[in-house]
Amino acid sequence: MQSVNDIKWKKGMNVGELINQFGKAGFQGIELSRAAEIIAKMKRDKAKIFVTFTSNMITSGMRGFFAQLVKLGMIDVIITTAGGIEEDIMRAMGEKFLITNFNADDIELHEKGLNRIGNLLISNDSYAKFEDTFTGMLEDIYKKEKRITPSKLLNEIGKKLKDEDSFLYQAAKHNVPIFCPAITDGSIGFHLYFFQQNHEDFIVDDIKDFKNMMTSTSWDERKGVIALGGGVAKHYAILITMISGGFDYGVYITTMTPFDGSLSGASTDEAKSWGKIKDDADATTIVGDATVFFPLAMTKALDILAEEGIIK
Query: Which active-site residues does the annotation give?
Result: 276
Helix axes 150-160, 206-214, angle to 10 degrees: 90
Compute the distance between CA of residue 153 and CA of residue 172 in angstroms, rounded to an integer: 11
* Residue 311 DSSP SS3: coil
Q: Residue 193 is which amino acid?
A: Y
239: phi then psi, degrees, rounded to nearest 5: -75, -50
Closest by CA position to 264, among listed 299, 229, 295: 229
β 120-123/98-99 pair status:
antiparallel
The C-alpha R_g of the chain, in whole angstroms, comes to 20
Burial of residue 182 (number of CB atoms within 10 Å: 0-12, 13-18, 19+): middle
Helix (H) or strand (E) segment spanning residue 130: helix 124-144
